Amino acid sequence: MKHHLITSSHGSLIRGIIALIIGGLAVFMPDITLRSFVIYIGILILIGGIVSLVFSIRSEEKNSKNILMANAVFNLIFGLLFVLLPTTMVNIFVIAMGVGFLLIGIIQLISTLIIRRDYGWSWIYFAISMLMIIAGIILFANPFAGAEALLIFIGIFLLIYGVSEVYMAWKLSKKPTISDDVDSFQ
């Protein structure tokens, strides 16, 4: 059986339009898109918390009830934080990402300096580690601007992907299908 959504011009067109919309929002309105995305995640976490709360109330087993209740409380608190304080949650996430980049960059730099004795100097590893350190500092210094820059970067890729999908939809719509070829022989 053929997967029409994957191989059809309609599926490609739908994917392209969705990518263009999301990419356009990310590039041209990154602050609103970022806050909306965080609020959306918060709503999903809240829904998970409500579901866990319902299951914990309905559960008859004490261990299961306690685990589900703890999960519900955790999800409800974090969901509310995401919905009510989206900028703060983005900053926390991006700061954590910045710290991660810094640590990875420093570890990569130390590794590069250690192995240069045995294998010679590797400029590419040095450059990558320095870029990671710089990215970590930038994200740590101004988290919301860093998050917006990452979102714009992702948005540009989504716009490119969207254009390629729309082009593919156009190409697929011009291609004759197997049923068209069979009908022409009859």
The per-residue pLDDT for 50 is: 94
Whether pLDDT at 163 is above 70: yes
Query: How many angstroms separate the CA atoms of 61 and 56, rounded?
Result: 9
Q: State the average pLDDT over residues 18-34.
A: 89
Helix residue spans in the chain (DSSP H): 4-7, 9-28, 30-58, 62-84, 86-119, 123-141, 143-174, 178-185
Whether pLDDT at 72 is above 50: yes
**pLDDT band at residue 142 under the 50/70/90 scheme:** confident
Query: Is there a domain that residue 162 lies in?
Result: yes
The per-residue pLDDT for 36 is: 87
Query: Is there a domain that residue 186 lies in?
Result: no
Token pair of 30 as six digits:
């990154």
Whole-angstrom CA distances from 37 to 42, 47, 83, 100, 186 are 9, 15, 10, 22, 53
Query: Is there a domain that residue 127 lies in?
Result: yes
Query: Shortest CA distance to 80 belongs to which of 130, 44, 109, 55?
Result: 44
Query: Is there a domain that residue 112 lies in?
Result: yes
The per-residue pLDDT for 87 is: 84
Number of domains making up the chain: 1
Domain of residue 87: give its range: 7-173
Whether pLDDT at 81 is above 70: yes
The per-residue pLDDT for 1 is: 45
137 within 8 A of 110, measured Cβ to Cβ: no
Q: What is the pTM of this model?
A: 0.60
